[in-house]
Structure 1
Amino acid sequence: MVKKPAPDAARRSEKSRRAIYAAALALVGEVGYPKTTVEGIAARAGVGKQTIYRWWPSKAEVLLEAFFDLSTQAAQEAGQAPYVIPDTGDLAADLKAVLRITVHQLVDPRFEAPSRALAAEGVVNEPLGREFVTKLLEPQLQLYVDRLHAAQDAGAVRADVDPRIALELFVSPLAQRWLQRTGPITYDYTDTLVDYALHGIGPQTPPSA
């Protein structure tokens, strides 16, 4: 009698985890954060409610982890390592490269609906907003700070520049345009943001004779 192989618990757990991610993101995009429940996520994912609570303490934790996972996938599909700003020695090229990954995410239909729902809820739901900033936004912003510090060390950015303020020159306009839908989100747009941030908008000073 042929013995059947034992079920692969790790593979089953990963399959359940993926189903929960997909269910959470779909629900928050369809009905919004307030109406998304652990029970609803479990039912849509085809798992028991206790399975979710065994891995996450709340729906917020589920959604934030699912969102992080989705962002990682989007970066990989764009051919880039997630949450990494390269240091090729060319600051403008490096910033443009990572902002293009962000554009890829922002225009991805899988990303847009849940991210808008979470962004809107974070404005009125302080605990969720704080968690979103702490777990997702702040680590990404710190990468910009580190890259700008490296550029200062290399002499590509003035030593008196505050990197935390400087990064807002290209990150904040992109976020505002996306949130308020004031214009298209394109590679050309983010490339221009970087050029304006690094070179200013005043007339170029001609080289001295």
Structure 2
Amino acid sequence: MTPSTARRKETSRRAILTAAFELVQEVGYAKLSIEGIAARAGVGKQTIYRWWPSKGAILLEAFLILSEGAEGAPPTLPDTGDLEADLIAVLRATVEELNDPRLESPMRALAIEITHDADLAAAYAERLDGPLREAKRRRLRSAQEAGQLAGDLDLDVAMDMIWGPVLNRWLYRSGPLTTDYADRVVTTALNGLRR
């Protein structure tokens, strides 16, 4: 592949991802179509289908690339030695991201679509959720090794206890998602998880 061909392909790919990300915010996921994405991106539908099997797959990649800037280094969580402060900072950032109007529609669409599409769920687990869970696990393991958490604590369950309530409240709109709520989740979870 010549450098100009590679550049054209990358330009088309970025245009498709940008179009999908913008359109899902404008029209919602139910009305998002491959035809609409192709028209907005200035490419043919066949170009899109050559690279992605579904609009959900496009949206996942768009979310990964455009919301974070680029795929690259694995995610990390702060490790200042103060577990509670670190978790509060992370959950507050999570609340801000979930409440960001630019990201809310794509994230809600992905949350719904992965329940229906096993391949998309696997891609989501591998490319987004898996690396995030590993970063969370590393931070909790560090606290465990420092004696801040019980040595026999199941870290996977602990992650679900800390992040689950925030995601659940956001997904089901079961109450206001605020930084105060995030702070209370951390305090409540750690009161039950400490030695």
Query: Alignment partner for residue 156 of structure 2, among 146, 155, 164?
Result: 164
SS at match of 1:167: helix
Query: Alignment partner for residue 138 of structure 1, among 127, 130, 140?
Result: 130
User: Is the helix fraction higher in 1 or 2?
Assistant: 2
TM-score by length of 1: 0.76
Q: Does 1:173 align with 2:170?
A: no
- Which residues of 2 match residues 40-79 of structure 1 at below 5 A? 40-49=36-45, 51-52=47-48, 55-56=51-52, 58-72=54-68
CA deviation after TM superposition for structure 1 residue 164, in Å: 0.4
Return the letter of the residue paired with 2:190: L
Aligned-pair identity in percent equals 52
Q: Does 1:21 align with 2:21?
A: no
Give me the CA root mean square deviation. Answer: 2.7
SS at match of 2:114: helix
Return the letter of the residue paired with 2:129: L
Cα gap change, 1:14 to 1:191, in 2 (>3 Å) = farther
Return the letter of the residue paired with 1:114: P
Number of residues paired by the alignment?
187
Structure 2 Cα separation of the partners of residues 127 and 14 of structure 1: 24
- Which residues of 2 match residues 1-209 of structure 1 at below 5 A? 16-29=12-25, 30-32=27-29, 35-49=31-45, 51-52=47-48, 55-56=51-52, 58-72=54-68, 83-200=75-192
Cα gap change, 1:149 to 1:17, in 2 (>3 Å) = same
Structure 2 Cα separation of the partners of residues 131 and 82 of structure 1: 16
Structure 1 residue runs without a partner (length 5+): 1-7, 74-80, 202-209
Structure 2 Cα separation of the partners of residues 52 and 106 of structure 1: 28
SS at match of 1:123: coil
Structure 2 Cα separation of the partners of residues 171 and 150 of structure 1: 17
TM-score by length of 2: 0.81
Q: Which is further off, 8-17 or 172-181?
A: 8-17
CA deviation after TM superposition for structure 1 residue 50, in Å: 5.0
Structure 1 Cα separation of the partners of residues 171 and 42 of structure 2: 33
Structure 1 Cα separation of the partners of residues 98 and 91 of structure 2: 10
Structure 1 Cα separation of the partners of residues 106 and 57 of structure 2: 14
Q: Determine which structure has more spread, i.e. the larger CA radius of gyration.
A: 1
Structure 1 Cα separation of the partners of residues 143 and 28 of structure 2: 44
